[in-house]
Structure 1
């Protein structure tokens, strides 16, 4: 076993032994998960090809391709108590699930080599005591031959009422490194693909919301979002004429249709 220095000298003098031939890995089609890696089975888990780190990292990117915003941040409506999806995002688990198998397959290590932290006490919008953690991490990406990319930095910031702030900020710094350095797209359509004119958004009427609620094509997620919009517009208790010709508040109408469609979906799944 030779050291990194000895191997570097061998490459410089041209006396380095030729890398052993190993089977080339063929990445699965985009969107399909990578196969399970069995460390006990050398055929299922071939030795990574001895290539420079920038080539190995390029192959990692080729395997990952894209990671969708499949994680959801949910909040409760203060008026109805129902949960709704506020926004979608790509969390640290999505990053690790995508990059973990690919970096193993191509012999790439991602190591944190330095970390700078800062903390401050603050309060939330509800006047709860919180602690803000900010972490700047220096990373080293090492390839299968022992060479590495230039040192990279990424930052993470979190708010927490307990002792998890540092771990959250570390996770965010790692997520930023993987997605930004990997230049991994979400697969979402281009934001500017549709023509949008500047101007104030028109205020929707109660009847507009009623028509959308009773439309059988309106999804459960959209019904949750409508409840949030109605709460912000203070329209939850506005009376409208429902599909049966009776008067009903928008809140009650939305809740009824949400429960009916949810029951239909659960009944169909069973």
Structure 2
């Protein structure tokens, strides 16, 4: 049933019925102006980072970091290697990311656990985490989400924190493409075919050379064990007899201490 006003409108060829909500929505101009940038009017103060896109800010971080050497040594008896520790990596990236307005945020952590034991029978808890990270630039824009994994063992309640720290180190080193600038240990010594057997004295002389790198000393440690020379007696730099393996370890520790000083 229609009203008198509606019949009059129909006779005049028009309609007073309100248009559906969908029609009003379609009537909105397609070229409407986008929402204003909340950082558009921001003016950096003294010491604030430049308002550049996140990919440029991250590139500046990489330029300032340049490289992180494997300056730390793990010595677990028969296992010995150089590495870049979590604290070293974070201490390097932390001030630089702050200077360029970069935030590195964990946005999701997925962890799995299992009970295990050491070779000596001690009970341990193993934690493996997958962490999703967001790298935020000074303007609030972000890089695509990144994922890294970390694994750690602990006898108490620190396994999760350790595993997340490892995941952070992996993110910074891989996401920053951070080189070591160390010589490749595989290029230090190449054994081809029937290589002549070296004497304990020749190893002693090479160990004493100041130009022998830490990587080469680690390789010598492996070689003298393979050759059965680890316990061979040699005359050290002060004229006393000393086992080659102990001599190598002592000289290596002195070089490390000298470098730290």
1:121 and 2:122 equivalent?
Answer: no
Distance in 2 between residues matched to 1:140 and 1:199, nearest whole Å? 51
User: 1:67 maps to what in 2?
Assistant: 68
Greater alpha carbon shift after TM alignment, 222-231 vs 167-176: 222-231
TM-score, normalization by structure 1: 0.64
User: 5 Å matches for 1:163-178?
Assistant: 163-178=157-172
1:53 and 2:54 equivalent?
Answer: yes
User: Per-residue displacement from partner, 1:219-250 (whole Å, max 9, x unpaired)?
Assistant: 8978898677656765455456x479x99563
Assess if the C-alpha contact under 8 Å between 1:133 and 1:159 holds in 2. Answer: yes
User: 1:88 maps to what in 2?
Assistant: 82
User: 2:140 maps to what in 1?
Assistant: 146
User: 5 Å matches for 1:118-267?
Assistant: 118-189=112-183, 196=190, 204-209=198-203, 211=205, 215=208, 217=210, 235-238=229-232, 242=235, 250=243, 254=247, 258=250
CA shift, 1:212, in A, is 5.0
Structure 2: unaligned runs, 5 residues or longer: 1-33
TM-score, normalization by structure 2: 0.66
Distance in 2 between residues matched to 1:175 and 1:61, nearest whole Å? 14
User: 1:5 maps to what in 2?
Assistant: none
Assess if the C-alpha contact under 8 Å between 1:223 and 1:258 holds in 2. Answer: no
Distance in 2 between residues matched to 1:86 and 1:16, nearest whole Å? 51
Assess if the C-alpha contact under 8 Å between 1:236 and 1:249 holds in 2. Answer: no
Structure 1 residues 211 and 18: CA distance shift in structure 2, 3 A: closer
Greater alpha carbon shift after TM alignment, 192-201 vs 148-157: 192-201
Find the residue that maps to 2:36 and give its secondary structure.
helix
CA RMSD in angstroms, aligned pairs only: 4.1
Distance in 2 between residues matched to 1:223 and 1:138, nearest whole Å? 38
User: 1:39 maps to what in 2?
Assistant: none
Aligned residues: 221
1:10 and 2:36 equivalent?
Answer: yes
Distance in 2 between residues matched to 1:252 and 1:188, nearest whole Å? 24
Structure 1 residues 105 and 193: CA distance shift in structure 2, 3 A: same
User: Per-residue displacement from partner, 1:92-111 (whole Å, max 9, x unpaired)?
Assistant: 11111111111111111111
